[in-house]
Amino acid sequence: MSGSWREAYRLQSRAYPELAYHAIYAVRQGNLPPSIPPSELTTRATRRVVESKVLVSALLALVALGTTAALRPGVEGLIAPYLARELYVATVLSGLLVLELALLWWTGLQVLPTFLSSGILPTLDVLPIPSKTVDRVGFLLFLRLFDLPALTILILTPVVAAIGLGSAWAGLAILPGTIAVIVFALALSLATGRFFLRHVQGSPGGPGHAIVRWLYLLLWATPAFAMYGFLTFGPRFVGWISSVAASGPSPPLEALFSAFPFPLAAVPGLLAVDAGTLSGSDAVPAAVIALASGVYLGLAVAAAAWLAEAPAGFSRTSMLGRVAAPRALALHPTGPVLAVLVKDLRVASRTPGFAFLILLPLLNAVAIGVWTLLSAPSFGDVFNIAAAAVATAALLATFFGPAFFAIEVMGFGYTRTLPLSDRSLILGKVTLITLLYLLSSAIVLGLALLRVFDPVAYLGFIVAELPAVVAAALLELGVLTWVARRKGLPITNLYSGGWWVAAVAIPGFVVAGSPLAVFELLRSVSIDAALLVMAGISMAELTAVSATALGLSSGGAR
Amino acid sequence: MDEPSRSPTPLEIRGLVVRYGERVAVRNLSLAVRPGEIYGLLGSNGAGKSSTMKSIVGLLRPDAGTVRVFGFDPAVDPLEAKRRVGYVPETPLLFEALTPREFLEFIASVRGIEPATATRRAQNYAKAIQADSELDQPIATLSMGNRQKILLVAALLHRPRLLVLDEPFHSLDPRAVRVAKELLQQHTTEGGGGVLLSTHTMEVAEKLCDRVGVLDRGVLCGEGTIAELRGATSGTLEEAFLRLTRDADGVREAVHSLGEG
């Protein structure tokens, strides 16, 4: 290690607790730290950052575990009976890499604002430290944001390939693809983060700019949607490849291989499986894979070189985008509940992490709706898929609902001085979650009706689930507000309050999911009866939860 | 300004204690801000000024003692107390992702101000302190001074009966400071409201405050009008401050040691 790197490493180890402090307490974003001795603040912050990294890593490990199971011999016969083993392996491993990329990228977008707002590099810039050393401090701090999740990917992906395919060579063969994934995720986090800093976060106010911001966010969310899309549509995608493979010789497969997000994922399959489709005389696909892999590796090297320099410059980038011409000042105040809702939408429109929570259920609804339109032939099929889509929308909206509470960390030190009741705060956020559910359901309904026109059945399902969605959101936000009032700290992002989000999302998930489960059990008897029971349970949940959740928050001002 | 009160006194603090773990930031503090009065809280860094103010606006729960805002305890009736207070924090950290216009709209909504009234007041205050040119830029991109101007507009928007201002002038330009001082005097003389402000600047305290309290390591070590604090010495307020905080010798020693190089 050169002197400059050694000094950079020493400085980053001093600066890192500061980064953790800002990640947990978001002081520069207007939050107030709890009233505990200052020495305990950094210790607690550092510990909680580690806990949150463990949580993300556990999620990655869970995905890896699922992939190991999918790679066991014989499983492909169930999912993709016509697909050659090596193609199946390549598809599954490619899916794993895409999921890892998306999760790490998404994590990066969650934690980057902390890196930027910590102001560590500008502080070091004015000290007599060589600028190259300061740049390296920035690079090392940036890497530390991802350390545990990135290490989890780096270790578990080869282990998954080795165990799943029963070959240590397969584990080694996936290593270049794994490293490329980590480099791409970090580079994408930084590049998209900078883009959004200037064009979304720094965007002026006004309806026109708001539309442009949401369009940018939609563009950004589409690739990030891959994470969820692969989980939802992965098996169907493999099945589709299987049917393509059954219908023709190798040319479509060559095209598929070259189109894979990670052609490097094909190598373990070829190593682990005996000669198959791509061996012997059929050298063209192998050449396509080799070429595509080379391109990917080249890109990864370029991205790594860019990453070595970019984080430092990024942390000094001005957020100011286009300066807006002053408009006449006219305020349009509303009631407090609507004010919370509008404020959250405005904050989300400049914060990709929150925008994603809004766009995910909507994109999911569009994807499943289009799938329904294209694939389902009869009322029964359409209803099944539409009901599944509505159920997914309900579960997604309530599962991600607690994260909307994190918006409150911004300006928390000021908004707590306002006469805003906990009840208004909760109802504002519950309204947002409910609207997300209704909008997602409306998209599915619209697309399903184009295929089979039977609005009563679809509407019945949506309406029967509605009280359960409201109940789940009330429960989650009621508990979070109660905890925040007592602890004096709102739940923040994935890296600072992950445990709390998980702790309340699970009961919320159960409340939203119970009527759906009962419907599933009873639908074979009669759909009408199932809907009736579902609505009854849903209403009962809302009655019970609203009394508890709003009771918890009664009279409290933040 | 029409909120009914339980007491005519804008602010009464009795035996306030604020602790951060083992460290005691405010020790047994008692003071009152009378109607139509600007009360200045003077003190060195870490004297307990901000902790006192945070207890008044509900950001800190006192470890002992009581705070009453027009008779309402912020710990017991937080909504009632907060309705009557306008607050400018020392560090202007707000919703970074909102523009000032969006932020003021949120404040007006939470405080239940009519659209026409909110617009008129926001226009007037923003224009007066020259904050009207950057109302559509995200707050994250604004300078500290401009953020503080927006906070001042937000604090005045509902015409509160008690203003709690923590170092309200330290990032403002001279023109804005002058206008802000006029606004505060107008608030107390015409509206009969009370103002509690903390400051390090003796000139601000001398020119603006009707009464001053001197805090030293969490203890109120002196209170009265400027003339009373100066006492018989007829010195400056700065000298009175150093005498009250028993720091005059410390300052002399510090200056002497600087001379030694």
pLDDT in tens, A158-167: 999 888 888 8
Token look-up 């000042």 returns A329
Q: With a cut of 90, say whether residue B87 has pLDDT above it.
A: yes
Of A204, A331, A418, the CB nearest to B110: A418
A83, A247 Cβ separation under 8 angstroms: no
Q: Which of A31-45, A412-426, B63-77, B138-152 has the highest mean pLDDT?
A: B63-77
Cβ partners under 8 Å of residue B103, min gap 6: B94, B95, B139, B150, B154
- Say if A413 is an interface residue toward chain B (CB within 8 Å): yes
List CB contacts (< 8 A) between A320 and chain B.
137, 141
For chain B positions 42-101, those within 8 Å of chain A (CB to CB) are 54, 57-60, 78-80, 82-83, 85, 87, 89, 91, 93-99, 101
What ipTM was estimated for this complex? 0.87
Would you state the torsion angle of the CA atoms of residues A119, A125, A129, A131, taken in this order, to the nearest 10 degrees? 110
Residues of B in contact with A349 (CB under 8 A): 97
Interface of A with B in 179-208 (CB under 8 A): 201-206
Distance CA A465, CA A534 (A): 7
What was the pLDDT predicted at A275? Answer: 44
> What is the pLDDT, as a whole number, of residue A227?
54
Per-residue confidence (pLDDT) for residue A279, from 0 to 100:
46
pLDDT given at position A233:
58
**Positions of E strands within A299-397:** none
Residue contact B85–A417, C-beta within 8 A: yes
What's the mean per-residue pLDDT of chain A? 79
**A425-480: pLDDT as tens digits:** 999 999 999 999 999 888 888 887 777 777 777 788 889 999 999 999 998 888 88
Decide if B79 and A419 are in contact by the 8 Å CB cutoff. Answer: yes
Residues of chain A with C-beta less than 8 angstroms from the C-beta of B58: 416-417, 557
Lowest mean pLDDT, pick from A177-191, A295-309, A312-326: A312-326
The predicted-structure confidence for A35-70, as pLDDT tens digits, reads as follows: 677 778 888 888 888 888 888 899 889 888 888 888
pLDDT for position B234: 66
Distances from the Cα of A324 to the Cα of A198, A245, B134, angstroms: 13, 55, 8
Is this prediction's pTM over 0.80? Answer: no
Mutate to test the interface with A, among B110, B113, B130, B134 (most CBs of A within 10 A): B110
Assess whether pLDDT exceeds 50 at residue A88. yes
CB distance A30–B19 less than 8 Å? no
User: Quick one: which of A302, A549, A322 has its CA closest to A422?
Assistant: A549
Cα(B184)–Cα(B156) distance, rounded to whole angstroms? 10
**How many other C-beta atoms can be found within 10 angstroms of the C-beta atom of residue B53?**
24
**How many Cβ atoms sit within 10 Å of the Cβ of residue B207?**
11
pLDDT (mean) for A240-250? 60
> In whole angstroms, what is the distance from residue A338 CA to residue A343 CA?
8
Residue A290 has pLDDT above 60, yes or no: yes
Work out the average pLDDT over B202-217: 87
Residue-wise pLDDT for B28-52, tens only, equals 999 999 999 999 999 888 889 999 9
Least Cα separation, residue A262 to chain B (angstroms): 36
Beta-carbon neighbour count of residue B104 at 10 Å? Answer: 27
Q: What is the mean pLDDT of chain B?
A: 86
Q: What is the CA radius of gyration of chain A?
A: 25
DSSP secondary structure of chain B:
-----S-S-SEEEEEEEEEETTEEEEEEEEEEE-TT-EEEEEE-TTSSHHHHHHHHTTSS--SEEEEEETTB-TTTSHHHHHHTEEEE-SS----TTS-HHHHHHHHHHHTT--HHHHHHHHHHHHHHTT-TTSTTS-GGGS-HHHHHHHHHHHHHTT--SEEEEESTTTTS-HHHHHHHHHHHHHHHHTT--EEEEEES-HHHHHHH-SEEEEEETTEEEEEE-HHHHHGGG---HHHHHHHHTT-HHHHHHHHHHHHT-
A421: three-class secondary structure by DSSP: strand
